[in-house]
Amino acid sequence: MEISASLRFIDSGTGRFQDSYGLKIGALRSSHPRTRERFQRLDFVSGIGICASLRKKRKPHPWVRRFGIAQLTRHDLSELLKSQSASKAVWSALRAGASPFVLDSQELTSKQAALKAFDVDDIFAMTLKPEAVEHMIEEAPGEGVASTHKFLLRLHDGFSVESVLIPNDRRLTRRATTICISSQVGCAQGCCFCRTGTMGLLRNLSTEEIIAQVVQGRRLAKELSLPRVLKVVFMGMGEPLANLSNVKQAVEALSDMRRMGFARKRLQISTVAPSPHQVLALKGMRCQLVWSLHSPCDTLRAQLVPTSLFSTMELREAFLTVFRSSSGNPDRRFMVAVVMIAGVNDQPENARELAEFLIPFYEDPEVGLSVNLIPYNENPELSEHQFAASDVKTVQKFRKLVNESLPGMAIHIRETRGANASSACGQLATELKRQHERAVTIIKQQADVEAV
């Protein structure tokens, strides 16, 4: 038997009832104790309307489809918990790097059972526990530069993702830490200069798992006496646009001043732009965009990003459409990233070709264009390509040639951070075999429990 329920709530903007959140539970038997427990947890929302239907003789579905805390606005969570103070306490805890599931506060103590209804299998709560961070690697700092910290976050199903804490230069007056987070376990894009691509795509991260990386990052930054985490970049494992629905919800939570409270200019999504359709879906997102272009030449780009199916001209037009019709969201500041690989895309003709390609962005008043030149970080696992980083003089000459055609445009040469700890750009990956073994073990354990 399959039991499905949809939750009707009042939209804070329109005042109308909406069915934006749904819950579906598949059970082997309606008398199963875990099923009864799940419905007991839903008793608290009966006052705002649950419509349930029973469909017999349907093949049971073993997974639970749910709406989570990270997908609810402060207003919606207040309505469901029937307490504005409890909703505020939940997001205050997450913003401070703490788990709301273990806080013994006056606002949350009486709401723990209700809160867990949005985390039926304790997936979010498990990911927020300190022990979910299995190990950390610290890169020895250089002179005047704070050390980076890479940490591995273990997920509920045995998979894991890597995130990186990057404190800014100690010489700057405004101290802050940037966290580089992942959107997928692995990646399907297969960029031949990126270690994550060797994993393949294992699965997407949920909205809660994306937010959990930021919460854990803020907790760790506090424990390590690092500056506060004030910037989030989706530049870790995975392609954000291939997990767009969850990434969008995560960005909404991160950029909401009543939830995680990050400024729009301090959120960046980096994408290879798999398709124009996916690029157009970025309209309205409160963040900055970074296009991992690497080369405007379709032939060369297809070699560097083998999954490229669309021309760079088509993708450029999609980005321009987004900025011209976005009304400020995403942020007009737009960065184009190029990984500088010696003898591959760092020659004078490559610079002139890039400058010509960027002219429509450069001349458009709706776009604040900049370019980021990223030295290639070596990966022993990618020895078949035998890539090497462009030397400093070559990169500086490349920048000068682009600026000759596009005067005044900001061109940054990224300082490599975390390369010695394999936490720099293109170096994130987890142990694939170990992850598969853990995932298979957990799935078998779940099957054994359901069979009892």
Q: pLDDT tens, 260-271?
A: 999 999 999 999
Q: Annotated catalytic, 162?
A: yes
Ordered by where they begin, the domains of the chain are: 2-120 (no CATH), 130-432 (3.20.20.70)
pLDDT at 145: 65
pLDDT at 240: 97
DSSP string, 170-211: TTSSS--EEEE--SEEE-SS--TT-SGGGG-EEEEPPHHHHH
| Structure confidence by residue, pLDDT tens digits, 49-99 | 333 333 333 333 333 345 689 999 999 999 988 889 999 999 999 999 999
In 3D space, the residue among 221, 157, 218 whose CA is nearest the CA of residue 185 turns out to be 157
Exactly one of 107, 162, 208, 252 is catalytic; which is it?
162
pLDDT at 267: 97
pLDDT at 448: 54
Q: What is the mean pLDDT of residues 233-243?
A: 96
Q: Report which of residues 294 and 325 the model is more confident about.
A: 294
pLDDT at 44: 32
For the chain, give the percent of residues with pLDDT over 70: 73
Q: What is the mean pLDDT of residues 422-451?
A: 49
Reported as a pLDDT band with limits 50, 70 and 90, residue 11 is very low
Q: Find the DSSP H helices in 42-144.
A: 74-81, 84-95, 106-109, 112-116, 123-128
Is the pLDDT at 129 greater than 90? The verdict is: yes
Q: What is the mean pLDDT of residues 89-112?
A: 86
CA of 168: how far to CAs of 120, 147, 279, in Å? 38, 9, 30
pLDDT at 434: 55
CA distance 257 to 331: 16
pLDDT at 435: 53
Is the pLDDT at 123 greater than 70? The verdict is: yes
In this structure, are strands 333-340 and 288-292 parallel, antiparallel, or unpaired? parallel
Is the pLDDT at 191 greater than 70? The verdict is: yes
Q: What is the DSSP-derived secondary structure letter of residue 379?
A: -
Global confidence as pTM: 0.78
For the chain, give the percent of residues with pLDDT over 90: 57
Exactly one of 180, 187, 194, 425 is catalytic; which is it?
425
pLDDT at 34: 41
Q: Annotated catalytic, 356?
A: no
Give the range among 19-28, 332-341, 382-391 with minimum mean pLDDT.
19-28
DSSP string, 75-97: HHHHHHHT-HHHHHHHHHHHHTT
pLDDT at 220: 96
Q: What is the mean pLDDT of residues 173-198?
A: 89
Q: How many CA atoms lie within 13 A of 239 on its CB side?
A: 25
| Structure confidence by residue, pLDDT tens digits, 284-309 | 999 999 999 999 999 999 999 999 99
Is the pLDDT at 121 greater than 60? The verdict is: yes
Mean pLDDT of the chain: 79
